[in-house]
């Protein structure tokens, strides 16, 4: 139940606004500032028009767009203590609403980070995450290095943020849920060819972890021929889509969810309580279940030996096919990948 898309929230429900923001076309810092202004205006308008909103979620790249020519320029990157983030924080405080935002974050020790923040209704950053899995070979960003944090949000929610490609890895959603998240936010810039993968991973991440998922992409054209898809989506903890948007740029898709219901399922379900049962295999037969790790890929990853059987046959292992330079070597802080764009 979503209370007619959030029109009839209960006192315990979390009302979401997912903004299918039009793709910003960014070439200069003035363009970044203008995109920031549009995000601030959209957040204020959404809250003014829909006072029940608790959390407004904007897509990945909502300040920086999708053009590689803009990605290549250090002067267009932002800082967490910079003026763009300050304006986003003040907007949440002034509107009295939580917000989720995307920031391409300056990094003096390599490529920029593709970062996300959740700001509370007092204007404080409650959650800060760096994208773990940049969309290689398409994206030149530094891989995230701060794990999968979670934070307490409004109306009994515990929030995490999966940035675009992160949501394609079941391990990322599982880690967020293992740490207590009952609402998995996902922001993206995905284009229409990813529509099917977007849907099934949002559904699977919800069901496999008994969590709500709330996801949104940019919408519209970026000048490169294939538009971003919008496609806001909310799934309940059974993996059922309860609200779904379309491709309309700047549409705000709303929904009301009950985080406490996901919490109850995690405590009360027997059949398909998979996040619990992963570490308690076969508890019907064995008291407490088996608690060993039978998964080779997990132990190999931890020990630094991760290697797929077809490792030597993988053909694309850097971004040069996308016009980037070679990746930086371990121990170097020189951003050689984006250097390839700058040299073009």
Q: Provide CB contacts within 8 A for 85, sequence distance 6+.
A: 78, 79, 101, 103, 117, 125
How are the residues of the chain apportioned to helix, strand and coil, as percentages rounded to the nearest 5?
Answer: 35, 20, 45
Per the residue annotation, which of 60, 142, 231, 243 is the catalytic one? 60
CB 255 within 8 A of CB 8: no
CA distances from 307 to 29, 139, 302, 310, 318 (A): 42, 23, 12, 8, 17
CA–CA dist 305, 308 (Å, integer): 10
Encoding tokens for residue 147?
């794990």
Catalytic, 155? Answer no
Encoding tokens for residue 106?
């300056």
Per the residue annotation, which of 47, 131, 155, 191 is the catalytic one? 131
Catalytic, 322? Answer no
Per the residue annotation, which of 164, 175, 217, 235 is the catalytic one? 164
CB 337 within 8 A of CB 68: no
Catalytic, 164? Answer yes
- Radius of gyration over alpha carbons of the chain, in Å? 20
Can you give 8-21 as a three-state secondary structure string? CCCCCCEEEEEEEC
Q: Would you please indicate which residues are annotated as catalytic (active-site) residues?
A: 60, 131, 164
């Amino acid at each position: 139940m979503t209370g007619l898309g959030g029109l009839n929230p209960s006192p315990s429900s979390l009302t979401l606004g997912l903004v299918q923001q039009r793709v910003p076309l960014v070439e200069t810092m003035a363009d970044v500032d203008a995109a920031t202004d549009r995000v601030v205006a959209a957040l204020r308008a959404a809250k003014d028009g829909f006072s029940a909103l608790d959390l407004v979620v904007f897509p990945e790249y909502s300040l920086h767009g999708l053009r590689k020519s803009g990605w290549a320029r250090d002067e267009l990157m932002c800082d967490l203590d910079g003026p763009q983030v300050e304006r986003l924080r003040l907007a949440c405080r002034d509107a009295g609403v939580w917000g989720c935002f995307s920031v391409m974050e300056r990094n003096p020790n390599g490529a920029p980070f593709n970062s996300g923040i959740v700001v509370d209704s007092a204007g404080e950053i409650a959650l800060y995450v760096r994208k773990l899995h940049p969309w290689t070979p398409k994206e030149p960003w530094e891989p995230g290095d701060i794990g999968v944090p979670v934070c307490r949000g409004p109306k009994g929610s515990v929030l995490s943020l999966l940035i675009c490609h992160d949501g394609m890895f079941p391990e990322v959603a599982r880690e967020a849920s293992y740490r207590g998240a009952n609402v998995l936010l996902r922001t993206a810039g995905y284009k229409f060819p990813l529509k099917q993968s977007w849907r099934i991973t949002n559904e699977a991440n919800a069901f496999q972890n008994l969590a709500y998922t709330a996801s949104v992409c940019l919408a519209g054209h970026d000048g490169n021929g294939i538009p971003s898809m919008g496609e806001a989506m909310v799934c309940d903890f059974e993996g059922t889509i309860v609200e779904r948007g379309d491709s309309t740029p700047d549409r705000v898709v709303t929904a009301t969810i009950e985080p406490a219901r996901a919490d109850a399922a995690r405590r009360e379900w027997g059949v398909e309580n998979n996040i619990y049962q992963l570490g308690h295999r076969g508890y019907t037969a064995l008291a407490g279940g088996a608690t060993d790790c039978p998964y080779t890929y997990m132990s190999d990853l931890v020990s630094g030996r991760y290697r797929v059987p077809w490792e030597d046959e993988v053909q694309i292992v850097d971004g040069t096919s996308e016009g980037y330079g070679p990746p930086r070597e371990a121990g170097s802080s020189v951003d050689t990948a984006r250097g390839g764009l700058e040299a073009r």
